[in-house]
Amino acid sequence: MRKIILDCDPGHDDAIALMLAHGSPEIELVAVTTVGGNAVLEKTTRNALGIMTMAGITDVPVAAGCVRPLIGEGEDADVHGISGLDGVDLPEPAMELDPRHGVDLIIDTIMEAEPKTISLVPTGPLTNIAMAIRKEPRIIERVKEVVLMGGGMHVGNWSAVAEFNIKIDPEAAHIVFDAPWEVTMIGLDVTHLALATDEVAAKIEALGTPLSQFVLDLFAFFRQAYHDEQGFEFPPVHDPVAVARLIDPSIVGTVRAPISVEIRGEHTQGMTVTELRPAHIPADCHTQAGVSLDADRFWDLVVDAIDRLGRAQGEAGGRASV
């Protein structure tokens, strides 16, 4: 079982990442931290608590992290709506926030665990992770690996060449990619293959639980927003692909390559420059990029996790009513 810290900015696809992380028997979700990204920190934190309550994830510490990027101000992602999670009604949170800052929860969790047992899964801007590195550099040698959703080798979505999570805080991304630990970039090249098609929606609908209906409502808003904003017929569900990579690495094909974050370019800031020329890839390269996705197996993992969580809630409700 892989132990992970999910650092997120919910976000419709972050919601699915949370469900996959807690619903998979192969993952132990040991902490959740939030960051300003898809919406302001207050909203992403409220969304995380509401999603986790809806999914019955009430035994995992949650802490709010950084309000804004290392330099400058943040931007909201339009496709998630005003709340950051438009299209659904969230329940009142069933748990309180951890009193620690999110950066401190990340550091404490890593430093208190056995070395190389915790993996970091950031699915928003990398501000919290960069701040944790700066505050406690020893986490670099203790983390097993970083599997992040962000970037892309050949495509952008927040500019012609830059993906949202990287573009919002390129300086933080530079710190994370440059640190001497294992980093896997799950970028747009891969996540644009994780489409919530009608066939996927039908499989989730067949589960017949309140949680599966919640997911369908998420997809309905996300589908319309992605169609209006970016012209997709079906919405790409980015963030859970990073979790799936840890559950079964064979689902996401990767290529070992140096990855640099452009932080100065007038037109290219936030670009993840991936060096694919074989002669320029060192033997000790510590970064790799996703290049392919087995979408059917990916969605099987997601549907199974939603089913497990939904059935667990039903069983808990049945016991409570006896």
Domains in the chain (CATH in brackets) are 2-312 (3.90.245.10)
Structure confidence at residue 78 (pLDDT): 66
Task: Please name the residue that has the structure tokens 């805080």.
Answer: 169
Tokens matching residue 18 = 């949370």
Cα dist from 292 to 49, 191, 241, 253, whole Å: 32, 9, 11, 5
pLDDT tens over the chain, length 322 residues: 999 999 999 989 999 999 999 999 999 999 999 999 889 999 999 999 999 999 999 999 999 999 999 998 877 666 677 788 888 889 999 999 999 999 999 999 999 999 999 999 999 999 999 999 999 999 999 999 999 999 999 888 878 999 999 999 999 999 999 999 999 999 999 999 999 999 999 999 999 999 999 999 999 988 887 778 778 889 999 999 999 999 999 999 999 999 999 999 999 999 999 999 999 999 999 999 999 999 999 999 999 999 999 999 877 654 443 3
Cα dist from 2 to 121, 158, 162, 207, 285, whole Å: 11, 32, 30, 26, 23
Which residues of the chain form beta strands (DSSP E)?
2-8, 27-34, 62-64, 118-122, 143-149, 183-186, 252-256, 259-261, 272-274, 287-293
Secondary structure (DSSP) of 252-264: EEEEE--EEE--S
Please tell me the distance from the alpha carbon of residue 170 to that of residue 167, in angstroms, as a whole number: 5
Tokens matching residue 260 = 């640099």
**Of all helices (H) and strands (E), which one includes residue 104?**
helix 102-112
Q: Using alpha carbons, select from 54, 53, 73, 70 the residue that is nearest to residue 62.
A: 53
Cβ contact 4:122 at 8 Å: no
- Write down how long the chain is: 322
Strand, coil or helix: 155? coil
Residue of 238, 267, 280, 286 marked catalytic: 238
Residues contacting residue 252 through CB under 8 Å, at least 6 positions apart = 186, 190, 241, 244, 245, 290, 292, 293, 294
Structure confidence at residue 77 (pLDDT): 66
- pTM for the predicted model, two decimal places: 0.95
Structure confidence at residue 73 (pLDDT): 82
Cα–chain center distance at 160: 22
Structure confidence at residue 322 (pLDDT): 31
Strand, coil or helix: 125? coil
Let me know if 162 is exposed, middle or buried by CB neighbors in 10 A (0-12, 13-18, 19+): buried
| HSE-up of residue 24 (Cα within 13 Å, Cβ side) | 26
Bond from prior residue into 87 cis (ω within 30 degrees of 0) = no
Please tell me the distance from the alpha carbon of residue 185 to that of residue 163, in angstroms, as a whole number: 12
Residues contacting residue 294 through CB under 8 Å, at least 6 positions apart = 250, 251, 252
238 assigned to active site:
yes
